[in-house]
Structure formats: C-alpha cells, structure tokens
Structure 1
Amino acid sequence: MLGLALSACNLIYKLPTRQGNVIEQKQLDQLKVGMTRDQALFLLGTPIAASPFRADRWDYLGYYKSPRGQVSSRTVTLYFEADKLARIDGAAPVAGASSLDTPDAKSVIEQQKKDKVEAERAAEPTESGVVLTPESAPQAP
C-alpha cells in the first residue's frame, strides 16, 4: 500500500549529467586571437579532443543534462598557427540561449539548492496531506 502511494509521487532525485569540458561563456569571452597555447590552456583547461595528427587544432566538447531532462551541448574549436591562437569557432553565445541552456557552475549549484529545498518541503508532513505552493495558494477575498 505504501509502495503504491509513493510510486505516484515523483520523489526520485536525478543528478545532473555533465560530460566533457565545462565551457563557460565568461572564459570564452577572455580568449583573444594571438594568445599562446599556454594562455588558452590556462583559461579553458585541457581539450578533450586534441589530435596528435593535427597539433594546430583543439576541440572542447561540453554536454549537460539537467535533472529535469533538458539537454545542452556545445563545441568550441581553437585553431593555432605558430603556437598562437589564430581562430575560434563556437565561442559566440547561441542566439536565444538562456542560462539554463548554457549553465555555468554557479547556476548549477543554485539550481541544486533550490531542488533540494523543494524536495525537503514536499517531504514534510502536513496536517491535511496537501502541500500548497505559492502559485496555488488561495487568494484572500
């Protein structure tokens, strides 16, 4: 009986999935053509795809899936000539993208805190068995 009642509630918390490089726009905004490889490495970290056959190209691949199932991915490619950054592909923010589409570490942590508070609040017992949220609270006449 209890198992049936709990199965109707969506109490399972799903962790966000982050794979590849963490690509934040504020780091990409600091990249400038003419930087050295070491400077680019300091800003973005080690590329996930650097080929020994093409030493002039670094690829940064980032994938993020939120606990609610929203997926975003991004690829940034750096091209070097004579150990200097010559071209950057994928560094411009995607038009119409919200912070949820391209999350940074601060946004992810804030969302995790909100989700935790929401889950704790939903788990608290209430006298009537009904949890009122601010959107569904009755209005005073």
Structure 2
Amino acid sequence: MFDSTRLFCRGLVPVALLALAGCSSWVNHGDRFMGVVPLYRVEIVQGNVVTKEMAAQVKPDMTREQVRDVLGSPMVADVFHTQRWDYAFSIRRQGAAPQARRVVAWFEGDRLKNLEVPADLPTESEFVASINTFKGKGGTPKLELSDAERAALPKPVRPEAKTAEPTGATRAFPPLEK
C-alpha cells in the first residue's frame, strides 16, 4: 500500500505541474481568455494632460503660480529638486494605444527658465481623437459650443428676492421702567 501511494504521488506531481504551466497560456492571447472570451482591463489614467495649446501659453519668466494656473499642479514637485516640476501623463485604455508623456518645467528661483516639451505633444483635438474608442459613432466629439449654439441656450432663471415679513414673537411686553 505504501508503494502505491508513493507511485500515485510521483505521477500526480508532474501532471499538476503541467496543468499549472498550461494555465498561463490560456490568458496569453492578448485581450481574450483562451483566445475567445474578451477580458476586462481597468483603464488607468495618471498625471496631467498637457496639450500644445497649454504649452504655448507658458512663457519664460512666468512665476510658479502662473505656470500652475496654466498647466495645473505638477505630478512631481520634489523637495530635493525644487527647481524642477514634472508633468507626467500616462493612459492605458482598452481599444486605444497606451500613451506616456513628460513635460518638465525648470525654474530659477520663482521664475520659469524653460519648458521641456516632447516632440509628440498632441493638440487638444488630437488627444481627444487618440483616446476616443467610439470612432464608429460619429468621429471626434465637439469640444466647444459655437456662438449660435450658445445663443440658443435658455437663459438662467434668477428667482426674485422676496421681502419676508418679520416672524417672531407677537407678544407685546410692558416697558421695563416706569
């Protein structure tokens, strides 16, 4: 009986190892389980989106507050490198190519020295088109209303201020002194 248990264990261990090794090949078909069932991938967006229009607004000799107003808060503002702000951006979205960019702002004191911008920095509409996974449904979405569309919007209704009658005690008290 002891020999049959040992034989069973010796046969079971290699079969189990082969089965476990085969499990990894089931999910190595891109975005599909066993090449058939689509897998869900979590969309990961990190950092600040900086477009060409935003980078064009930033000029040398701007203060840190002015740069922050245009580009937003930096992703990395290191205590040990106070003269450098990093605006990192990355996105992984199902159905779209992953993107990663880094814009670096260099300061001298409180003033911007220069802005390092990658060559592949997209415009706002190029960025929207690159992350639009619904391309078959009408192309790039509009980013702004036209003047005619703004004029057609209903005017906001402002409630009139009502004069409220005093609410309080209605009793009359006698004077304190005679």
Alignment TM class, shorter chain as reference: 0.5 to 0.7
Q: Which protein, 1 or 2, shows the higher relative CO under an 8 Å CA cutoff with sep ≥ 6?
A: 1
1:82 paired to 2:109: yes
Closer/same/farther in 2, CA of residues 74 and 36 from structure 1, 3 Å limit: same
Equivalent positions of 1:120-139 (< 5 A) are: none
Q: 1:28-67 counterparts in 2 under 5 A?
A: 28-67=55-94
- Relative to the length of structure 2, the TM-score reads 0.47
Higher mean C-alpha deviation, range 60-69 or range 80-89 = 60-69
CA contact (8 A) 1:19 1:64 kept: yes
| Contact residue 65 and residue 72 of structure 1 kept, 8 A | yes
2:120 counterpart residue number = 94
Report the CA distance between 1:67 and its aligned residue: 2.0
Aligned counterpart for 2:127 among listed residues 83, 103, 107: 103
The question of whether the paired residues in 1 share the 8 Å contact of 2:90 and 2:98 is answered with: yes
**C-alpha separation between the residues in 2 aligned to 1:26 and 1:107?**
16
CA RMSD of aligned residues (A): 3.4
2:116 alignment partner AA: D
Partner Cα separation in structure 1 for residue 113 and residue 78 of structure 2: 17
Structure 1: stretches of 5+ with no match in the other structure:
1-6, 119-141
The alpha-carbon deviation at position 39 of structure 1 amounts to: 0.5
Q: Structure 2 CA distance, aligned partners of 1:79 and 1:8?
A: 49
Specify whether residues 98 and 41 from structure 1 end up closer, same or farther in structure 2 by C-alpha distance, changes over 3 A only.
closer
Q: Distance in 1 between matches of 2:99 and 2:74?
A: 19
Q: TM-score, normalised by structure 1?
A: 0.58
Structure 2: gaps of 5 or more residues? 1-34, 139-178
Matched residue of 2:94: which SS? coil
- Mapped to 2, the partners of 1:93 and 1:99 lie a distance apart of 15
SS at match of 1:86: strand
Counterpart of 1:20 in structure 2 is 47
Kindly tell me the number of residue pairs found equivalent between the two proteins. Answer: 104
